[in-house]
Structure 1
């Protein structure tokens, strides 16, 4: 666990979060600054800095993160109209917390992928 890692501290129960799904290896919780009507973060409980590191180091766990995201999308009613699942990686990719996390976004039309 990263002592200074916000998401590791959420996993440890040191910082409260609105948890929507928990498995032995993953945690899904509502984003505190939502960018869509539904905005949930899905993380592995084990610390990996980004999705590339996770996929290369433990591809099974990367699959579990995706499985959790799919289950949450279904539970949140997002599968009929669609949703976006996004990983930001590195500073240029917009990553702000350096513990891999998927943004599950939906509940309204989301617009273009990128704004210029």
Structure 2
């Protein structure tokens, strides 16, 4: 009999390993990513104070109107651009990228590249 692989548990273990090495501050917040099948979420977190500074997702009104489906690469690019614009408006330009245990490909890579192009440095 085969054991079923729990991929979410593996991702969570990787995420804990990543989080033990990186942390966000007020000067250099952590860009945390979460992706589901239908949406993608991004937020800049100050871990010292436990505060979310900026957030963007495919369920935001301004982004949701521009996307047909929130679970694809095009919508991830829009979220990356939106989070970068909101961060630059709050005078945040240097961040730490937290891929949350996801592989750096597809939607995660598209979001990161769009954020870089819109002005964030990481």
In which range does the TM-score fall when normalised by the shorter chain? 0.3 to 0.5
Structure with greater Cα Rg = 2
Structure with a larger share of its residues in helix: 2
TM-score, length of structure 1 as denominator length: 0.32
TM-score, length of structure 2 as denominator length: 0.31
